[in-house]
Amino acid sequence: MSAAVLAGYWPVPFSVPSSVAKPTLSVDGQHIVAARREHPGAFEALVRTHERPLYNFCLRMLGQADDAADVTQETFVQLYSNLARLDEYEPLAPWLFRVARNRCIDVIRRRRTIPLEDDAEYEPLDDEPLPDVLVERADIQRVLGEAIASLPTQYAEIVALRYAAERSFAEIGAILDLEEGAARVRFHRAKALLRRRLRDTLPES
């Protein structure tokens, strides 16, 4: 029996054209939909998924645990207020980090009564490897934290996103509204600045 004859007997299976087929929901997307319906535990699942990387990002941006916790909490409160407006098919993490980043910048601005000049563009970069003695320092955590905090905001945020929140360059680009390549370039420059700041912490030999 030919295919043409078969087609006359068998019902044509219904298929959705790929252009209108909806993508499958991510786990976050499913939780957003459930949280809108006030499903118990759905919003808590969103908080538990994202709280640690968000908190670490804020902690490295702000340098103070209390401020970081406040900003992270405000970010989740904003998420809750915006549940109905969010697109559940879009990744949630970049949205959360964008909100947290803007709030961190607000806090930093409030702290600085006089706007600081961003002189990083004129700072000589450093590509020389760091000595091993730095890695062996007992106060390495303090040194690393202070090195990030000493960077201009645009570099501190990209370093915090990469090292503290462990985001990919694609995500960092989405958060900072940059192309992925531009995010890589900015990160490279941030690392050169970091290297210089870290070398400054070493005692003169």
Partner 1 sequence: MHDNDDIDRLFARLDRANVPDAFTARVLAQTVGKTQARATLAWPWLVAGLGALTLLSMTGYMLGANLAASDGLDVLVALFGDLGLVATAPGEVVAALSDVIPWGLVALAGVSAAFLVWAVGNVVSRAPAPRRQAA
Which residues of the chain form contacts with partner 1 (CB under 8 A)?
Answer: 36, 38, 43-44, 47-48, 51-52, 55-56, 59, 65, 69, 72-73, 76-77, 80, 83-88, 129-130, 134-135, 140-141, 144-145, 159, 163-164, 166, 184-185, 188, 191, 194-195, 198
Identity of the residue, 109 or 137, whose beta carbon is nearer to partner 1 in the bound complex: 137
Least separation in angstroms between residue 83's CB and partner 1 is 7
Least separation in angstroms between residue 133's CB and partner 1 is 12
Identity of the residue, 105 or 134, whose beta carbon is nearer to partner 1 in the bound complex: 134
Identity of the residue, 7 or 185, whose beta carbon is nearer to partner 1 in the bound complex: 185
Identity of the residue, 7 or 200, whose beta carbon is nearer to partner 1 in the bound complex: 200
Least separation in angstroms between residue 1's CB and partner 1 is 48
SS (H, E, C) the chain: CCHHHHHHHCCCCCCCCCCCCCCCCCHHHHHHHHHHCCCCCHHHHHHHHHHHHHHHHHHHHHCCHHHHHHHHHHHHHHHHHCCCCCCCCCCHHHHHHHHHHHHHHHHHHHHCCCCCCCCHHHCCCCCCCCCHHHCCCCCHHHHHHHHHHCCCHHHHHHHHHHHHCCCCHHHHHHHHCCCHHHHHHHHHHHHHHHHHHHHHCCCCC
Least separation in angstroms between residue 27's CB and partner 1 is 18
Identity of the residue, 24 or 113, whose beta carbon is nearer to partner 1 in the bound complex: 24
